[in-house]
Amino acid sequence: MTGLAFHIDVSSCSGCKACQLACKDAHGLEAGRLWRRVVEVEGGEWTRKGNAWCSTVFAYTISLSCMHCERPACMTSCPTQAIVKRADGVVAVDGGACIGCRYCGWACPYGAPQFDAATGTMSKCDFCADERDAGRPPACVSACPLRALDWGPIDQLQARHGTLAQLPPLPDGAQTGATVVISPPARMSPLSPDCVQLANDEEILR
């Protein structure tokens, strides 16, 4: 696996959403269009064992954008070949070729492509091409007060942080070859992934 990727350190993320806002600000995204979303996850339970109460309760937040996949489902579903995977690994939408059918949004397991009503085309994270051209990190990385986000070539990120690319309730990263590195939260549920649920689904699933 090659190309640019994000590192998401879930153990450091406080869920403040500065990354989400910085992304909206950098790209002029109107209300409801999110290229980066902070997902709130919770689960677990209290159980009684004799006179003791035992807890498996947990909560964490994951800051998600397009995973710039190795085998992008968005790209293969597009009837006009408007989505391309560039040599640097970034998966990009060509607004001139997009007809706004939204197939890519339905095909993406992460729901990353977002419809732009003003242009009638799909839009998504472009890894902050303008910021990188100016020699700066992507806006979300710069904005994070806890340094929970980082970016760089996937092989370098994996050498530093490992190869985890999935965390409940995210889909299996192997499905599309998600080009991402995730550091897990300090406390994860020892229960099955079925016990994990979204806490802010009304906010992020639009």
Binding footprint of ligand SF4 on the chain (CB under 6 A)? 13-19, 38, 61, 63, 66-69, 72-74, 91, 108, 110, 112-113, 124, 143-144, 146, 148-149, 176
**Whole-number minimum distance, CB 86 to ligand SF4, in Å?**
11
**Whole-number minimum distance, CB 71 to ligand SF4, in Å?**
8
**Whole-number minimum distance, CB 142 to ligand SF4, in Å?**
10
Residue with tokens 């950098």: 26
**Whole-number minimum distance, CB 65 to ligand SF4, in Å?**
8
The residue (of 56 and 88) whose beta carbon lies closer to ligand SF4 is 88
Q: Rounded distance, CA 15 to CA 61, Å?
A: 5
Q: In the chain, how many H helices and how many E strands? A: 7, 12
The residue (of 84 and 191) whose beta carbon lies closer to ligand SF4 is 84
**Whole-number minimum distance, CB 39 to ligand SF4, in Å?**
10
The residue (of 63 and 183) whose beta carbon lies closer to ligand SF4 is 63
The residue (of 5 and 196) whose beta carbon lies closer to ligand SF4 is 5
Contacts of 37 (CB under 8 A, 6+ apart): 20, 63, 64, 65, 204
For 1, 9, 154, 156, 181, the CA distances from 159, given in Å and listed in that order, are: 12, 15, 9, 5, 10
The residue (of 24 and 124) whose beta carbon lies closer to ligand SF4 is 124
153 preceded by a cis bond (ω within 30 of 0): no
Q: Rounded distance, CA 34 to CA 24, Å?
A: 7
